[in-house]
Chain A
């Protein structure tokens, strides 16, 4: 059903607007695809896939990206589910102050925190490892994740705790047997979002990884430019590499769009 009744002419205008915008949207895609076929056609793709770049086989960059995405997603879920539950259902001293302090950290962004993170990772001996990207990504997502999980637990009734207490269950049993299974939908939303954000991340892998064997796909884009240069046959190869890097994101998006939409809107509009 339509949002409201529009006249025939108005509906034509709406369609025209949407189609016009869609053409504008398709232009960059058209651009990168035609560029990727320049000079050597599809052989650009086979060249990128079979030749090592920076001494690393191309698919390997994806392996790094996924290790980091899954690692950070797991850690985000662990910390945010436990603390989201605590902030929602357990009474303890300074709860409100700690919660507000955590939420205030939504203000922190990667560039601001770059120097201290660099120093901390160096001193922990983590610089140039997958963890050097995983941990900062986790820390940056936690405020949003805690907000999302707390809101979700707030929507579950607290009476379950009281009756479980009467039956002699402690808080951990209550959490693991009752609330944890109920929280799965929110956890899926948050987990999918973190995978997406991690695959999009550029600054942390650029700053904290120097060994090309550890590079993620997004950082690899940047290094390709230096390796390939941007003229003639190399321009084609560079764009073919770009297309190959965009494809996994689009495939993942097509599969999990629902969870991404649920996750982002749950963190904001619903209370």
Chain B
């Protein structure tokens, strides 16, 4: 359908008009993005502080430093871990909830909105709420455990190095609003006669979910997985407000790593730029796969 539409359009060239239409975009991109890439690339070979005065050319040294920096490697790993948690929860819990909300029962509209609300709220807000909820002494979770006599379950959720990353990842459960949206849109276009046929053949709920609905929604799975993979590199406030990368760097992600390194006094921004370049390359590769996927879908 779309390829036919794409083939239409005006075949005569209107170079000047075309460029005038994209002029505002080109100005913003030239000033902010093209220059940024150039700046990052150049700075990544220099030793320089936030004043940007007297840069000193150091060649590949920054890249050597950054690739040996355990905190950076850990943050890259944690970023992918966070993306992985987001994807896993979206493809399981998000999928189940979307299908279940396709049934009619009392209050289904209310539940639909309820599950969506956290996706609309600023992540910084959710992180702040969770960080006070998970606090050891006065947090609601531990108070709840103590109240029902399960004192042993009260934990140092955010300051125990073994638990902190799990606490941060658990917030993902509440961020399934956007995946639900994708699934719901996809489910609305499904041919329900397949499902009816399965019911007549005696398939139960579990079988329909696993063998029919899950494979049928595979385009949604891919869309969600790819966009959430990139989403990990956008994360910052969740970790920043819940654990600030701690304890001992155990929850550091790319977002907090770059922010902290930029802000801490006297740090070498050349090394941070080298880190940014490395992350940028990884992100571009993911985006490239994503676009390839969408283009191939269009060609169907």
Contact = CB atoms under 8 A, between A and B. Distances in A.
Contacts, number: 317
Contact of A257 (B113, B198, B234): B113
Given A25-B174, A108-B283, A250-B120, A95 B276 contact: no
Interface of B: 1-2, 5-6, 8-15, 17-19, 21-22, 24-25, 28-29, 31-33, 35-37, 39-40, 43, 50, 52, 93, 96-97, 99-105, 108, 111, 113-118, 120-126, 128-130, 132-133, 135, 138-141, 173-174, 178, 181-182, 185-187, 192, 195-196, 198-199, 204-205, 208, 219-220, 223, 227, 230, 233-234, 236-237, 241, 254-255, 257-259, 262, 269, 272-273, 276, 279-280, 283-284, 286-288, 290-291, 294, 297-298
| Majority SS at the chain B contact face | helix
B17 A90 contact: yes
Contact of B105 (A11, A26, A157, A201): A11
A107 B132 contact: no
Given A119-B39, A268-B182, 9 more contacts: A14-B100, A14-B103, A107-B286, A112-B283, A113-B276, A119-B52, A158-B8, A203-B237, A257-B113
A106 B290 contact: yes
A14 B100 CA distance: 6
Contacts of A157: 8
A10 B122 contact: no
A46 B243 CA distance: 30
Contact of A202 (B14, B93, B236): B236
Contacts of A2: 102-104
7 contacts: A14-B105, A18-B97, A22-B115, A109-B283, A114-B276, A115-B40, A218-B122
Interface stretch (A55-63, A181-189, A241-249): A241-249
B290 A111 contact: no
B88 to A, nearest CB: 16
A229 interface: no
A265 B236 contact: no
Contacts of B258: 111-112, 114-115
B82 to A, nearest CB: 13
Contacts of A114: 258-259, 262, 276
A11 B199 CA distance: 14
Contacts of B195: 3-4
A91 B11 CA distance: 6
- A5, A34, A170 interface centre (most CB from chain B within 10 Å): A5
Contact of B32 (A32, A104, A135): A135
A100 interface: yes
Contacts of B105: 11, 14-15
Interface in A168-219: 170-172, 175, 196, 199-203, 206-207, 217-219
